[in-house]
């Protein structure tokens, strides 16, 4: 596939190094470069932007692409009701997402810098391809990081406004996060065998905070040295596509959740809820969930936000939660006129 310029730009959490790369080629599949995957069918629509050259500042711009309209509150509440009816009081979770569209033109470089300054612990990213359009975000959620044979991830769920008081989390948020933890541990045991679960803590992410459980695993190499690289890449790709989307972005039962999402959401999530990140660029391989993010066109921005709906959910509280999450991006959009 050829186009003018496919580009990426990112800064890893707790780092000051900003990495930019670009290519006139866009590779289908998993390779060395900046990997992007959509919410649905990541194993089929995985894309890779090779690091062929460093883009000029004028290349870091949005391309024209279609954006969804804002989700009315009535539609969002209807989806929440449908989810609660589907769960019928049983333990479970389905994620409902919505869109906030703003008809403005933004400066991607200035917005990226503002996100970096405000969210030092987030993965700040932006990328643009002929297949995906242009995206920008500040994700708090690591999907998978690789350091030789060692893998690290996290179970991140539950949401509330940031507080200086060390409060107990309520039952709804604790159960929501537990479902994500169980799913990730089961996936890692199936693919790796050895799994270590860290101490759960409250993780701040801008104006809100979440429940976070660090998880690590060891993926032993193939017994056949000459098959090591291909085997390892294939297993890593398989693990990524099994993990994504996690219950934090989809639901505790993936097939049930996807069916209801297709029925009630009047937009495609596209890359929102998928993942992105560098694959062995400057010795970094780390993939983060594409959330707290927006799709950007030349004269408009679509901000995506979602929340985990359980039998204990309140529709007004869930709407307010997505309002808080969307401010992660909205408060840092820099218009091209500024």
Q: How confident is residue 224, by pLDDT bands cut at 50, 70 and 90? A: very low
pLDDT digits (tens, 9 = 90+) for 195-217: 999 999 999 998 899 999 999 99
Does residue 48 have a pLDDT over 70? yes
Phi and psi at residue 11, to the nearest 5°: -140, 120
Instruction: Please check the confidence at residue 1 and state whether its pLDDT lies above 50.
Output: no
| Contact by Cβ (8 Å): 101, 301 | yes
Residue 159 has pLDDT above 90, yes or no: yes
Asked whether 184 and 155 are in contact (CB, 8 A), the reply is: yes
Helix (H, G, I), strand (E, B) or coil at 53: strand
Q: Contact 112/55 with Cβ under 8 angstroms?
A: no
**Phi, psi of 296, deg, nearest 5:** -120, 130
pLDDT band at 280 (very low <50, low <70, confident <90, very high): confident
φ and ψ of 121, to 5 deg: -95, 0
Residue 281 pLDDT grade (very low, low, confident, very high; cuts 50, 70, 90) = confident
The mean pLDDT value for 304-310 works out to 96
* pTM beyond 0.85: yes
Q: Looking at residue 2, what is its pLDDT?
A: 42
> Superfamily for 2-330?
Anthranilate synthase (3.60.120.10)
Q: Which of 320, 270, 331 is nearest to 36 (CA)?
A: 270
**All structural domains of the chain with their residue ranges:** 2-330
What the block records as the tokens of 319 is 């709407």
User: Which regions of 198-333 does DSSP assign to beta strands (E)?
Assistant: 201-205, 208-218, 275-281, 284-289, 293-296, 301-309
Residue 270 has what pLDDT? 97
Q: pLDDT-derived band of residue 235, with 50, 70 and 90 as boundaries?
A: confident
Least confident of 79-83, 199-203, 226-230, 306-310: 226-230
Please determine, for residue 239, whether its predicted confidence score (pLDDT) is greater than 50. Answer: yes
The whole-number average pLDDT for the span 45-70 is: 94
Q: Which of 1-15, 90-104, 144-158, 276-290 has the lowest mean pLDDT?
A: 1-15
Query: pLDDT over 90 for what percent of the chain?
Result: 82
Identify the pLDDT of residue 225.
44
Residue 245: which of 200, 187, 197, 294 has the closest Cα? Answer: 187
For residues 255 and 164, the model is more confident at 255
Give the mean model confidence (pLDDT) for residues 329-333. Answer: 97
Over residues 69-88, the mean pLDDT reads: 96
Mean pLDDT check: name the lowest of 104-108, 189-193, 250-254: 189-193
pLDDT of 133 above 70:
yes
Question: Can you tell me the mean pLDDT for 126-150?
Answer: 95
Work out the average pLDDT over 19-27: 96
Tell me the average pLDDT of the chain: 92
- State residue 230's pLDDT score: 63
pLDDT above 70: percentage of residues in the chain: 95
């Amino acid at each position: 596939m050829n186009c003018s310029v496919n580009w990426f730009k990112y800064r890893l959490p707790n780092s000051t190094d900003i990495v930019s790369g670009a290519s006139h080629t866009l590779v289908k599949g998993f390779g060395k470069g900046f990997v992007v995957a959509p919410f649905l069918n990541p194993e089929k629509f995985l894309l890779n932007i090779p690091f062929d050259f460093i883009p000029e500042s004028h290349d870091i711009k949005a391309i024209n692409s279609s954006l969804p309209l804002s989700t009315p509150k009535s539609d969002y509440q209807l989806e929440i009701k449908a989810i609660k009816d589907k769960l019928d009081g049983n333990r479970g979770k389905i994620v409902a997402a919505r869109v906030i569209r703003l008809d403005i033109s933004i400066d991607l470089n200035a917005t990226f810098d503002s996100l970096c300054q405000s969210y030092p612990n987030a993965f700040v990213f932006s990328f643009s391809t002929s297949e995906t359009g242009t995206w920008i975000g500040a994700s708090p959620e690591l999907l998978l990081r690789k350091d030789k044979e060692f893998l690290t991830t996290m179970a991140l769920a539950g949401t509330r406004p940031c507080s200086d008081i060390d409060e107990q989390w309520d039952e709804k948020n604790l159960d929501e996060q537990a479902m994500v933890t169980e799913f990730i541990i089961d996936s890692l045991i199936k693919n790796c065998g050895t799994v270590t679960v860290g101490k759960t803590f409250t993780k701040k992410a801008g104006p809100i905070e979440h429940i976070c459980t660090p998880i690590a695993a060891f993926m032993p190499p193939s017994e056949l040295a000459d098959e090591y690289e291909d085997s390892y890449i294939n297993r890593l790709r398989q693990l990524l596509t099994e993990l994504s989307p996690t219950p934090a972005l989809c639901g505790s039962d993936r097939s049930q959740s996807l069916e209801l999402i297709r029925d009630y959401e009047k937009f495609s999530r596209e890359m929102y809820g998928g993942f992105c990140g560098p694959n062995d660029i400057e010795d970094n391989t780390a993939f983060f969930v594409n959330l707290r993010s927006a799709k950007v066109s030349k004269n408009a921005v679509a901000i995506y936000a979602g929340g985990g709906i359980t039998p204990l959910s309140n529709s007004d509280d869930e709407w307010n939660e997505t309002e808080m999450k969307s401010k992660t991006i909205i408060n840092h959009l820099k218009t091209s006129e500024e």
